[in-house]
Amino acid sequence: MRRLILTLAVCTALALTGACGKDEGTREVTGPDPARGRRLYIATCIVCHNIDPSKPGSQGPPIKGSSVELLEAKVLRKTYPPDYKPQRTTSAMPTYPQVRKRIPDIAAFLAQP
């Protein structure tokens, strides 16, 4: 019985991260994680961008759907990908090198419907 309860508890915890969900086995556990991306977005970006990334924030434009390429250019290098037309002509946003490894997570979060 104890064991069953423990199994259920572990599975509930894992279900929250999707590991016990119906897509078990197909989900790439080491791949981009939108939940982690969301946490980073909230911790780092919503000072200026909206908590709802489809809307303009206090300073930054809506950034829903931003590609990894765009995020890397803007967040790490203060630039834009070649041929990308920026929404603003300003260059007010600082770089955030600490999120370097997590850009795919942020992109996965921003890609969510």
Report in angstroms how near the CB of residue 27 gets to ligand HEC at its nearest: 23
Report in angstroms how near the CB of residue 56 gets to ligand HEC at its nearest: 10
Given the complex with ligand HEC, which of 61 and 104 has the nearer CB atom? 61
Report in angstroms how near the CB of residue 84 gets to ligand HEC at its nearest: 7
Dist. CA 93–CA 76, nearest whole Å: 10
Cβ atoms of 20 and 11 within 8 Å: the answer is: yes
Q: Which residues bind ligand HEC (CB under 6 A)?
A: 44-45, 47-49, 59-61, 63, 66, 70-71, 74-75, 86-88, 90-94, 96, 99, 106
In degrees and rounded to multiples of 5, residue 10 shows phi and psi of: -65, -40
Dist. CA 19–CA 2, nearest whole Å: 22
Given the complex with ligand HEC, which of 19 and 44 has the nearer CB atom? 44
How many Cβ atoms are within 10 Å of 68's Cβ, its own excluded?
Answer: 16
Cβ atoms of 80 and 74 within 8 Å: the answer is: yes
Given the complex with ligand HEC, which of 27 and 88 has the nearer CB atom? 88
